[in-house]
Amino acid sequence: MAKGYVLLTEAIKDPAGMEAYGRASAPSMIESGARVLAVDTEPQLLEGTWHGNRTVLVEFASVEAAQAWYDSAGYEKAKPLRWAAADCNAVILTGFEMPARRG
- The answer to whether position 24 is within a domain reads yes
Residue from 55, 30, 57 nearest 44 by CA: 55
The domain total for the chain is: 1
- Residue 10 has a CB neighbour count (10 Å cut-off) of 22
Do 66 and 90 form a contact (C-beta atoms < 8 A)?
no
Is residue 37 in a domain?
yes
> 56: domain CATH number?
3.30.70.100
> Is 99 within a domain?
no
pLDDT at 6 over 80: yes
pLDDT (tens digit, 9 = 90+) per residue, 22-57?
999 999 999 999 999 999 998 999 999 999 999 999
| Residue-number span of the structural domain to which 63 is assigned | 4-43+51-94
Percent of the chain past pLDDT 90, that is, above it, reads 91
What does the buried/exposed string (b/e) look like for 70-81 if buried means 16 or more CB atoms within 10 Å of the residue's CB?
beeebbeebbeb
What integer pLDDT is reported at residue 34 of this predicted model?
Answer: 98
In the predicted model, what is the mean pLDDT of the chain? 95
Residue 62 within a domain: yes
**pTM for this predicted structure:** 0.90
